[in-house]
Structure 1
Amino acid sequence: MRLSRRWIPALVAPVVVAAGAVTVPMVADADPGLPARTPQQVLELVATSTEDSFSGTVEQTSDLGLPDLSGLGGGEDGAGAAVELLTSSHTARVHVDGPERSRVQLLEQMSQRDLVRNGEDVWVYDSSEQTAVHTTLPEHEGHEPAQPEGTPAELAEQLLAGVDETTEVTVSGTDTVAGRPVYQLRLDPRTDATLVDFATLAVDAGTGLPLEVRVHAVGQQAPAFVVGFTELDLDTPDASLFEFTPPPGAEVGEQELPDHDGRDPGELPEGPRPEVSGEGWATVVELPVGGDVAAADKSGMLEQLTRPVEGGRALQTSLVSVLLTDDGRVLAGAVPVEQLAAAAR
């Protein structure tokens, strides 16, 4: 996985010293017969993992409290497809061979969507629409590509890179995921201001690869979001899996990426900068976008997803809230809408 070790001290320090109490829970559940490990040891296991070739089946389920919008369709901007991904369960086949070769096949009942990367070439294929779009990635020397989107490792990387002293980290037990023994790493926000209750990362005891992530919302017994492997093969996938040729009859298109003008991919372009308030799990991000965002929506999706509030419209799921203000700002965070409204004043 090759995660940076920079976040290990920030995560481990709060575990060792929490409001003057030195309490580091060890592994209590030894069902797979694993030796006990401290949170620091499990974090180091993830950070030093080099497992970057595998195949498997990933299942994702969501219980975010969003309405069923399947009747609205995808819309020209693809927002419908994004919402549909968050409001129902999905199964995907994932093949990874290093940081530059991957294939994610999202399996639907009557169709399939593929995201294939082979070096600088990326293909996105939708069998229901019979479309294939090709993109050529620019070269960015020294930039390490992220984990393939939608995998447990990708979500785990985001969670671990984003937490700090506002998070308590423990090892809550052991388990078995996709037939492999795992340590359950638990992240608990040290604040009541967030919608997130806690998150657990199932870390493969042998490889350090995160195999499952569960995010729990406050006041909700079942996990609000789960993504995890149900099958896993650590052999190197066949190279042919990363070769893609559009099938006969498919409409083929080319998409050019925005010019970075020599900037690093992580560097923001010129223009309005987001404003950040709060900290840790209660962080609120504000971005000026200009105009009335809700009024500009032609699909009717925002009207169904959001509710009117003073000064704009708001969406609150069990994990994330978004506020669209009448004066052209978007605020978002894992906090209640009321906190976004307070930050907008």
Structure 2
Amino acid sequence: MTRVWARWVPAVVAAVVIAGGTVAATAAPDVDLPDKSPREVLALVAGHSLDGFSGTVEKSTNLGLPELPVGADKFGGADVGSALDFLTGSHTARIFVDGHDKARVQVLDQLAERDVVVNGQDVWLYDSSKATAVHLTVPEKDATGDHAGDYSPADLADKLLDHVTPSTEVTVGEDTSVAGRDAYELVLTPRTSETLVEQISIAVDAETGLPLAVTVEADGQDDPAIEVAFTSLTIGAPPADTFAFTPPEGTDVTEHALPEKSGPPAEHPMPQVSGSDWTTVLEFPAGTAPAELTNSPVWAELTSPVAEGQLLSTSLLNVLVTHDGRVFVGAVPAEVLQAAAAG
């Protein structure tokens, strides 16, 4: 748990960008919560034990990508279209959680929906627009863990601050309200100008410690790059049948069994890492970027030619695919990626 928290702030911002974001929390003048220090708010988050809840989440992403022609997301295959879908626009999702092994996310598209359902060892991925489903059987979890429960919330907050404060200023902003619930605003500001991230704000439920909203601001952009928030939230376990999924008649079902963990597969090598914290750059070997993407008209529309290859530049993330097929990714200025590629 501590390792996850310590790495989340600077490193996972790239993954957050890819996955999308949503509606922001705003300061609420009528909310007046007891004062808390950053350490106390972090302890509130670290100590939350909310096992069951359901709600609606709104997502909005503004990364400054150029507007594509109508139908451009159809070029290059379904994966390209899905990636573009996550990188642009707004979406609504319904989320249901019951403990650590039951969850359901319904992404509500126009006249369709996509579902991810986790029910113990059964995992379903369903797309109603394509009438397809993938069923995964997950191996039983190892009974041993990293003993995160040995630490109190205060211990976890201290460890997080120890990891974060050298690279990040952590403050508490104005009291706010999200989905009708009072919340503290935790503000994370990079201590470096060598990143595209200006700051990240997290609304933390004052009663339960559950994060209710995340807003990511990009340097030099007026509108938030990513906004994610609950618009409604119900505390308590959802009905048991929420997680019982049966594909509708006529659905094309693909069965998969996941192998027991034994290290990363050889066909998916780990990236090389340079820089640290907010200035981290990931380098993936040649062949990582699928040809259906880099050879598609969409890629040509989204990228610009540079000396090292093709550059996809957004307000919060830059991606460089070199002439020899290597891929460099980071929430850093483009010239940092170009220097890494040249080096």
TM over 0.5: yes
Kindly indicate whether residue 36 of structure 2 is the aligned counterpart of residue 40 of structure 1: no
Partners of 1:162 and 1:227 in 2: how far apart?
Answer: 25
The whole-number CA distance in structure 1 between the counterparts of 2:115 and 2:341 is 39
C-alpha distance in 2 between matches for 1:249 and 1:161: 54
Greater share of residues in helix:
2
Gaps of 5+ in 2: 10-26, 146-159
Q: Does 1:52 align with 2:51?
A: yes
Map of 1:85 onto structure 2: 86
User: Is the 8 Å Cα contact of residues 104 and 114 (structure 1) preserved in structure 2?
Assistant: yes
1:74-115 C-alpha deviation (Å, 9 max, x unpaired): 554523112212201000111010111111111112111111
1:155 match: none
How many equivalent pairs are there? 307
Alignment gaps of 5+ in structure 1: 12-27, 145-158
Matched, 1:324 2:325: no
Paired residue type of 1:53: G
The answer (yes or no) to whether the contact 2:217–2:224 under 8 Å persists in 1 is: yes
Change (3 A) 1:67 1:140: farther
Superposition CA RMSD, Å: 2.8
In the TM superposition, residue 304 of structure 1 has moved relative to its aligned partner by 2.0
Question: CA–CA distance in 2 between the matches of 1:162 and 1:251?
Answer: 47
1:308 aligns with 2:305: yes
Contact preservation (8 Å) 2:176, 2:184: yes
Residue 236 of structure 2 corresponds to which residue in structure 1? 235
Q: Secondary structure at the match of 2:195?
A: coil
Distance apart, 1:294 and its partner CA: 6.0
Q: Structure 1 residue 61 and structure 2 residue 57: aligned? A: no
1:326 maps to a residue whose letter is H
Per-residue CA deviations over 1:4-23 (Å, capped at 9, x if unaligned) read 38858x99xxxxxxxxxxxx
**How many angstroms apart in 2 are the aligned matches of 1:161 and 1:307?**
40
Aligned to 2:154: none
CA distance in structure 2 between the aligned counterparts of 1:299 and 1:132, rounded to whole angstroms? 26
1:160 Cα deviation from its structure 2 partner: 9.3
Judging changes above 3 Å, is the alpha-carbon distance between structure 1 residues 296 and 167 closer, same or farther for their aligned structure 2 residues?
closer
Q: Say which structure, 1 or 2, has more relative contact order (CA 8 Å, 6+ apart).
A: 2
Task: Give 3-state SS (helix, strand or coil) of 1:237's partner.
Answer: coil
Shift of 1:254: 1.7
SS at match of 1:335: coil
1:215-255 Cα offsets, whole Å, 9 max, x none, are 00001111100111000000210010000011112212223
Q: Aligned in 2, Cα 1:274/1:216: closer, same or farther, shift over 3 Å?
A: same
Deviations 1:232-284, CA, capped at 9 Å, x for gaps: 00021001000001111221222344x45x42xxx534464422111111111
Whole-Å separation in 2 of the counterparts to 1:236 and 1:30: 31
> What is the match of residue 189 of structure 1?
190
Corresponding position of 1:148? none
Summarize the Cα distance change of 1:109–1:292 in structure 2 as closer, same or farther, 3 Å threshold.
closer
Residues 5 and 47 in structure 1, CA contact (< 8 A), matched pair in contact too:
no
Task: Give 1:147's aligned residue.
Answer: none
Cα 1:162–1:210 change in 2 (3 A) is farther
Compared CA separation, residues 277 and 165, structure 1 to 2 (3 A): same
Displacement of 1:136 in angstroms is: 1.1
